Amino acid sequence: MKRFACLMISTAAMVAAGTAMAAGDAARGEAEFAVCAVCHGEQGEGFEKYGAPKIGGQEDWYIVLSLTNFRAGARARDNCDVADVAGTLERAKAESPDYAEIEAELATHFEGGLPSGGACSQPSADVHGSLMRAIALTLEDDQLVQDLAAYATSLTPPLPPVTVEGDVTAGTMGYATCIACHGANGEGIQALNAPAVAGQHDWYTQRQLMNYMSGVRGTNPQNITDMQMRPMAQVLITPEAVKNVTAYINTFTAAE
Ligand code: HEC
Ligand code: HEC
């Protein structure tokens, strides 16, 4: 069953990025996950202070889609195709001093210290996305994307805490637009490339919806799925409505 699912992802990734890949090797993915754990945690649980979402237990096809798009510059594009981890981390530090904590640890994962793109990388409005893109560009090969996805999807991190409060009744109505693609319980629909939104950190959902509204995300013509999502977020119109819909999404996984 799992194996079949992996073959399905290869097709999705092919459509997304025009590259053919074989199914993932979770053992190799586990060995290579150490660098991911610096920001996303050992269980892929995600950390708010690093802006890093939960990826443990996320659908393997969406991890592949995301990493493939980051690598191709279809998500968080800057003007540089060289992995500029040092430069993007500098800018992330300016945004959130917590990033200073991980600089040394992150450097240990790269021979010769943090990769730097030198002068080629321009500041981007998408500080978090640019950092993730720089990391994705350090992955040796497309097969590693599959391997990391195979491992990350097998993880079972705890449910994230609730941090976003809002009007759940208003949010229920706001979510009516979302059902067609993300499912009535936020479970996601692979055939539509729409990931699960249930069980994700609420601050991440909120930030991504704000990113879509402002055009930080969803304006790159190379990324059709992101372009599809943008007008859906724009329907929400106000930050208040984003909060409400996020609060409603929280109810999908609320403890009994
Ligand atoms: C330096 C910190 C850092 C490291 C190291 C890192 N990430 Fe990330 N990652 C992030 C941040 C921040 C985001 C959120 C990007 C955004 O806001 O769009 C992210 C986003 C992602 C996403 C998109 C998830 C979604 O729901 O949209 C995936 C998949 C991902 N990372 C996988 C990985 C993998 C696999 C590795 C290891 C190879 C890794 N990350 C290493 C910081 C990091
Ligand atoms: C027409 C289908 C469609 C509708 C309707 C839709 N979405 Fe999406 N959504 C997508 C797709 C496709 C993606 C994946 C984009 C990508 O990463 O390339 C996505 C991505 C997202 C993400 C980012 C997830 C992540 O892990 O990075 C969030 C959050 C989200 N949608 C929330 C919503 C909400 C809330 C609504 C309703 C207001 C909604 N979506 C309506 C298709 C849709």
Residue nearest to atom 22 of ligand 1 (CA): 66
Give per-residue pLDDT as tens, 91-144.
999 988 999 999 999 999 999 899 998 766 677 789 999 999 999 999 988 999
Query: Whole-model pTM?
Result: 0.92
pLDDT of the residue at 120 = 65
Q: How confident is the model at residue 12 (pLDDT cuts 50, 70, 90)?
A: very low
Smallest-distance ligand from the CA of 152 = 1
Distance from the alpha carbon of residue 89 to the mean position of ligand 1, in angstroms? 13
Question: What is the C-alpha to C-alpha distance for residues 18 and 70, in angstroms, rounded to an integer?
Answer: 14
d(CA 187, CA 179): 10
Give all domains of the chain, ordered by start, each with its CATH number.
Answer: 2-154 (no CATH), 168-251 (1.10.760.10)
| pLDDT at residue number 8 | 41
Q: Which atom number of ligand 1 is nearest to the Cα of residue 85? A: 1
Q: How many CA atoms lie within 13 A of 210 on its CB side?
A: 13
167 CA to middle of ligand 1, Å? 29
Among the listed residues 162, 193, 154, the one whose alpha carbon sits nearest the alpha carbon of residue 56:
154
Cα(221) to centroid of ligand 1, in Å? 21
Residues 59-96 pLDDT 10s: 999 999 999 999 999 999 776 788 999 999 999 999 88
Distance 129 CA to ligand 1 centre (A): 8
Q: Is the CB of 144 under 6 A from ligand 1?
A: no
